[in-house]
Amino acid sequence: MGAGRAFGSDIHYRSWYSKVQAALKHCCGRRLRQELENEQRLVKVLTQAANKIRMVEKSRRKVKDLMKKINISNFFKDGISCRLPLDPAVFVDGVDIEACTFYNANSLPLEVSFINADSQGRNTGVICKTGDNLRQDMLVLQIVRVMDRVWLQAGLDMRMVIYRCLSTGRDQGLVEVVPEAVTLAKIQQEWGLGGALREDTLEKWFHMWNRTEEAYEEVLVCFRDPR
């Protein structure tokens, strides 16, 4: 349903999408129809929250206060839970306001921490982006996923971590948060202004987190031909 919104907002696909959507709602049962409507409402609430945070002055951009003011948790009142549009395998029934944040990028993407409906499951982080077209991101990730399958069939395990990405509109979408991931920029910053120019930056970082020679060699497997 989320991806459908991306097509529905494009004049070239609007007519086609409206017919497919009408056929789906006509054929599916009441519970599935309600689930799709809940997911669509959730995407709308997230997009509104991300847009409001983008519009606030930098000095007043305090995510926790803004999230409480927007009251995104109201979506889950009265015991409502729904699947994440980004990952239908995950049921969520609330938002951890204290864990929400935003990134200092041009589009100021909002990271929302959803509470898993399964008490044994961990919270799921989702980045909501507005003002940024994610359709190309979706296409590239789909290609990478296909390439990874081809490599695995050929016996090449490249240790790929392929995150989920879903365009929900012309300039909006959702991106999966990869837990404990570290950006290359952050690694380079640890070695000062010249970190990006040094050839041994990654090598030093790997050594820092893998003290023994055995651990370091295991990490390097990701950058070698497994054959």
Amino acid of residue 143: I
Please state the rounded mean pLDDT for residues 8-26.
76
Higher pLDDT, 42 or 107: 42
For tokens 């023994």, the residue is 212
Strand partners, 115: 94
Interatomic CA distance for residues 8 and 16, integer angstroms: 9
Q: What percent of the chain has pLDDT over 70?
A: 85
* For residues 74-86, average pLDDT: 84
Instruction: Say if pTM beats, i.e. exceeds, 0.95.
Output: no
Closest CA to 129 of 162, 174, 97: 174
Q: In a 10 Å sphere around its CB, with 0-12 CB exposed, 13-18 middle and 19+ buried, how is residue 55 labelled? A: exposed
Please name the fold of domain 2-125.
Answer: 3.30.1010
Write the pLDDT tens digit of every residue in 143-165. 999 999 999 999 988 888 899 99
- At 59 the pLDDT is 67
List own/partner pairs for 23-31 with CB under 8 A and 24 or more apart.
none
Domain spans of the chain, in order of start: 2-125, 182-227
| Tokens representing residue 154 in the block | 């050929």
Query: What pLDDT, on a 0 to 100 scale, did the predictor assign at position 70?
Result: 67
Q: 123, 96 in Cβ contact below 8 A?
A: yes
pLDDT in tens, 86-126: 999 999 998 888 888 888 777 788 899 999 998 888 899 99
Q: Give residue-wise pLDDT tens across range 209-224.
A: 888 888 777 777 665 5
Q: Quote the pLDDT of residue 227.
A: 46
